[in-house]
Amino acid sequence: MKKIIIAIDGYSSCGKSTLARQLADALNYTYLDSGAMYRAVTYYFLEHKIALEDAESINRVLQQIEIRFSPQEEGGHTLLNGEDIESEIRKMYVANWVSPVAAISAVRRAMVAQQQAMGKDKGIVMDGRDIGTVVFPDAELKIFLTADPEIRAQRRYKELLAKGLTPSIEQVRNNLQERDRIDSTRTDSPLRRASDAVILDNSNLNPIEQFEMALALAKVRL
């Protein structure tokens, strides 16, 4: 059976990663979490105290950053230069800086190059903000996820609580609003729906219903 590329874009906390993992498992594809890649870069910048306006330092350290993902059977964790940083990059102090870092053109160019290299043989599912528009504009299936902002905030809040983190719902709501604003208005690769993407509003769908709809779309493409 031929292999395709599935690109899933959408707003923060729409369940992009959950859907992408489900599809990758069902199709025996590789799941690539582009959001985790930008979180990894953000974590690296914070750890090494790289100022976002310091273009020289940014260009230098980007040459030192390699991001990979462990196999699905091992949880698909994010590896930064071989180190598993999955739990650290999900924390709020990283989330608060992801969008500003991701808006830097040099960062986007470096990550897009790594992403395209990972997908050269197809058979992948990738989620993010610009996958169907910039990273893989020729992807055979493009899905644009959306949901009511308050529903997204509640989902993200419960997810963080389940991980033992204790932000307020207001902090989560503000973080999502700011990330959406930055992602949608940045000059380089803004968040937008590809003209040939299928819109999937999951405000009133559970993960199984969403998955079944997306899998049906994938089977048509296959």
Q: What is the mean pLDDT of residues 165-173?
A: 93
Total length of the chain = 222
**How far is Cα 63 from Cα 135, in angstroms, rounded to an integer?**
19
Interior/surface letters 94-129, b for 16+ CB within 10 angstroms, e for the rest: bbbbbbbbbbbeebbebbbebbeebbeeebbbbbbb
**How far is Cα 133 from Cα 118, in angstroms, rounded to an integer?**
17
pTM to 2 decimals?
0.84
Largest CA distance in the chain: 47
Q: What is the mean pLDDT of residues 72-99?
A: 89
Residue 107 pLDDT > 90:
yes
Residue 72 pLDDT > 70:
no
What's the confidence (pLDDT) of residue 74?
Answer: 66
At 129-154, the pLDDT tens digits run 899 999 999 999 999 999 999 999 99
Task: Catalogue the long-range contacts made by 111-120 (C-beta closer than 8 Å, 24 or more residues apart).
Answer: 111/34, 111/37, 111/38, 111/41, 111/67, 112/189, 114/37, 114/66, 114/67, 115/32, 115/34, 115/37, 118/30, 118/32, 119/5, 119/32
Residue 1 pLDDT > 90:
no
What's the confidence (pLDDT) of residue 2?
Answer: 87
